[in-house]
Every structure is written in C-alpha cells, then in structure tokens.
C-alpha cells in the first residue's frame, strides 16, 4: 500500500514539474519570438547545431582570440599594420577615429581595403565609428552632420528615429556596419567636460525614450548600435580620456538616474553596451567599471539581465593607461565579463594585447568555455546582421546631403 502511495506522490510531482517546465518553455518561446521579430531573424531549420556552433568548431584558438579585439589605426590611409592585424591576428573589427578621416572617398577606400584583407578569414569584420552628431562626428568635410543629442532632445522621438535612419544611410554608404551611438548618459552634472550636449536630456526617462528611438532607427536599417557609457558618465567632472573619474553614488542612487536608460535599452534588446572607465567606490573600490566584475557581471549581467555584447571603452585612454598597461587592462576587462576589447592604438599595444590573451588561454586563466561564450555572442551578432565583406561602390555625397535637408526641413 505504501509503495502505491509513493508512486502516486512521485507521479504527481512529475506532472507538476512538467507543467512548470511547459509554462517556462512557453514563456521562453514567446520571449524568443519577440526577439527574433525585433531583429528580423529568419527561423532556422531544425538542426542539431547552429551555423555559429559549426563555425566555432572550425576556428583555431588564435582566430577566436582575434574576434575579441577591435583595433584602431594610424594615418588617413590603409597601412601594413592594420593589414597585418586583419590577415594574421584575425581581429574582430576596426574603428576609424578623427585622425583617420580625410574625404568620403578616403573612408570608403580604407574600409574596402580592410574588407579585401579579411576575405581569407572565416568571419566578417565589425567596421565601426563614433558618429553621434554634434561635436562627436567623424564625417568628412562636405557631408552634413546631425545636430547634437541635446538639440534632438528638444524635438520628439519620431524625429529621433528618423535621425537614426539617416545615420544608417550615411554609414552604409561609407561602408560601416556599426556605430558607437547613441549616448545614454543623463546630463546630470552641468560641469561635465565630456558629456554635456552629447546627452539628450537631464531627465532619465527622456534620455531612455529618445535614445531608444535613435537606436532603433539604426538597427532597423542594418547598423549595429552600441549604447554608451554604462553605468553612466553624466555626473562626472573629469574627462576619462585624460584621467580616471570617480562617482560617489550608491547603487540605489544609480538606479534612480544613471541606470534608467540602460535598463530600458536592455529591455528593448540592445545589441551592444559600451562600459565606461569610471571608478564607483560604492560598487567596487578597486577597479574602474570597465575592469570590474562586480559592475559588468554582477550588476549588468546578473541583476539587470543583459545577455548581449559588452565592449570596453578605448583601453588606451588616460583613465586606464595612467594605472595599467593596455594588455593588463584588456585581460582584466575580459575576466570581468567584457566580450569585445577596444584598443584604438598603437600597433604594439594591439599585438601585446593579443599575446596576453593567448597566454591567458594557454595557461588556463581564461577557460575555453569562457572564451567560447564571448566568441559565440560576437559571431551570432554578425550572423544576425548578415555582415559580409562586400566592397562598397562610390559614395553619392550630394544625395546624402539632400536626405539631410529633407530630414531637417
């Protein structure tokens, strides 16, 4: 009799757990439908492994490590250093800064040469730029740039979306596929030397609404958007390009202001979040946010439930190099939870960063599981946007300027 009772109890528990599993599976399925629709993802065929998994199986350790690094270059024309980084180190992407900008045709040529160099590699490049509008613009002379985020903030979210669409048109024409924008920092400190009018507003909800509109304007039109600078750069009075800012705010205070736009971005499936170089002693007394496991893994990943790509701000900025070597910072940032490491220069720093990561993998400091976790995120993003190393045709600057006039009229 007792045996029958036990069977009944076990069977009942099985039915209950099965029901819970079915409900969880249903919730996961609905969540995935929304995500797939948001990113226009085609339903894959029913195979045991995804295309990303199959590709990763064919990649060497060096090829995987290369995918973690986004590099800058010197000069205004394609050169041997960037060529070597692409062909031999299999870097995941490049960034063009103001020092690299000459003419529209010059940008197209650099990006085309980069694509040609990468043709023999398994994975297409992330071709990125900081194009916010206002005082942070990398457009060449003769191309009309957007007004500042603060100016856009005086209008509405429909206009903000159209500015994102315009950015996508311009960047595609030049050959880019990724943009470090929009800024989601809240302009909460009028003495801030680095954010100011790069922010949409001093109101966190307005920053969230307008920022998401710009982000969607780009992503809906095939440009990867990188929202920045987590956990928030708006209340600093020090420029992190020169030295390390310190913000003495509690997590509760951050949740009320700085984190509001980023949580909204996470809820709306942001593809990539850039982490700033700022010390938050109330969160981590030792490491700045870009190197902090407490901030990247514990706060951003676990508490805020972000599972997209995390990228560092440039690891050659004063806030980092005043205290760390670039390879040392890159390794710490990766161990803290970052996926992509931005190393704008110089060539030796880029090579040393690659070597430091490879040594860490060989010694077991970075496990293969941890390496594959980030590489998979990166490859899935590239697959989702259907990136390819297709050479661009000549750019029609006149046509783009006409689009700008229509937008602003």
Provide the residue ranges of all domains of the chain, joining segments of one domain with +: 64-408
Residues recognised as catalytic = 241, 313
- Specify the 3-state DSSP secondary structure of 129: strand
Alpha carbons 249 and 266: distance in angstroms, whole number: 22
Contact 375, 64 (CB under 8 A): yes
CB atoms within 10 A of CB 142: 11
Q: Which residues, 6 or more positions from 316, have their beta carbon under 8 angstroms from its beta carbon?
A: 326, 343, 344, 345, 346, 349
Alpha carbons 200 and 360: distance in angstroms, whole number: 41
- Specify the 3-state DSSP secondary structure of 312: strand
Distances from the Cα of 164 to the Cα of 103, 212, 315, angstroms: 22, 10, 27
- Specify the 3-state DSSP secondary structure of 299: helix
Contact 277, 313 (CB under 8 A): yes
The CATH class for the domain spanning 64-408 reads alpha beta
Alpha carbons 292 and 101: distance in angstroms, whole number: 33
Contact 226, 270 (CB under 8 A): no
Tokens encoding 18: 């099965």
Alpha carbons 392 and 172: distance in angstroms, whole number: 9
**pLDDT tens track, the chain, 409 positions:** 444 433 433 334 333 344 444 444 434 434 444 444 544 444 444 445 688 999 999 999 999 999 999 999 999 999 999 999 999 999 999 999 999 999 999 999 999 999 999 999 999 999 999 999 999 999 999 999 999 999 999 999 999 999 999 999 999 999 999 999 999 999 988 777 789 999 999 999 999 999 999 999 999 999 999 999 999 998 886 778 888 999 999 999 999 999 999 999 999 999 999 999 999 999 999 999 999 999 999 999 999 999 999 999 999 999 999 999 999 999 999 999 999 999 998 999 999 999 999 999 999 999 999 999 999 999 999 999 999 999 998 899 999 999 999 999 9
Burial class (CB in 10 A: 0-12, 13-18, 19+), 399: exposed
Q: Write down the pTM of the prediction.
A: 0.88
Specify the pLDDT at position 90: 98
Burial 341-373 (b: 16+ CB within 10 A, else e): bbbbbebebbbbbbebbbebbeeeebeeeebee
Q: Where does 191-290 have alpha helices with state H?
A: 204-219, 251-256, 259-267
Q: How far is CA 277 from the centre of its chain?
A: 15
Tokens encoding 52: 């990303």
* DSSP state letter for 340: B
């Amino acid at each position: 009799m007792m045996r029958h009772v036990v069977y009944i109890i076990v069977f009942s528990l099985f039915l209950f757990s099965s029901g819970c599993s079915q409900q969880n599976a249903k919730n996961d399925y609905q969540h995935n439908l929304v995500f797939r629709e948001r990113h226009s993802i085609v339903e894959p065929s029913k195979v045991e492994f995804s295309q990303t998994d199959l590709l990763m199986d064919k990649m060497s350790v060096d090829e995987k490590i290369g995918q973690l690094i986004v590099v800058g270059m010197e000069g205004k024309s394609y050169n041997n250093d960037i060529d070597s980084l692409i062909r031999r180190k299999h870097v995941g992407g490049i960034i063009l800064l103001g020092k690299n900008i000459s003419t529209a045709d010059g940008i197209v040529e650099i990006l085309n040469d980069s694509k040609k160099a990468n043709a023999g590699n398994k994975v297409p490049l992330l071709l990125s730029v900081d194009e916010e509008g206002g005082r942070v613009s990398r457009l060449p002379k003769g191309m009309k740039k957007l007004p500042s985020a603060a100016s856009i903030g005086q209008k509405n979210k429909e206009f903000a979306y159209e500015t994102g669409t315009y950015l996508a048109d311009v960047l595609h024409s030049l050959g880019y596929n990724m943009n470090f924008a929009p800024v989601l920092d809240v302009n909460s400190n009028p003495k801030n030397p680095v954010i100011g009018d790069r922010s949409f507003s001093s109101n966190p909800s307005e920053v969230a609404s307008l920022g998401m509109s710009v982000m969607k304007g780009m992503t809906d039109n095939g440009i990867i958007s990188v929202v920045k600078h987590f956990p928030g750069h708006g209340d600093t009075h020090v420029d992190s390009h020169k030295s390390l800012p310190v913000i003495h705010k509690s997590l509760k205070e951050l949740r009320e202001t700085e984190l509001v736009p980023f949580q909204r971005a996470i809820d709306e499936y942001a593809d990539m979040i850039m982490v700033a170089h700022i010390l938050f002693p109330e969160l981590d007394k030792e490491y700045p946010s870009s190197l902090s496991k407490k901030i990247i893994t514990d706060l951003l990943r676990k508490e805020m439930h972000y599972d997209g790509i995390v990228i560092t701000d440039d690891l050659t900025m004063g806030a980092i190099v005043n205290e760390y070597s670039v390879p040392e910072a890159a390794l710490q940032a990766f161990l803290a939870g970052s996926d992509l490491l931005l190393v704008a220069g110089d060539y030796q720093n880029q090579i040393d960063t690659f070597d430091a990561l490879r040594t860490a993998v060989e010694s077991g400091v970075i496990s293969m599981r941890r390496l594959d976790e980030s590489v998979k995120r990166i490859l899935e993003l590239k697959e989702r946007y259907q990136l390819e190393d297709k050479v661009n045709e000549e750019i029609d600057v006149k046509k783009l300027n006409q689009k700008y006039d229509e937008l602003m009229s």
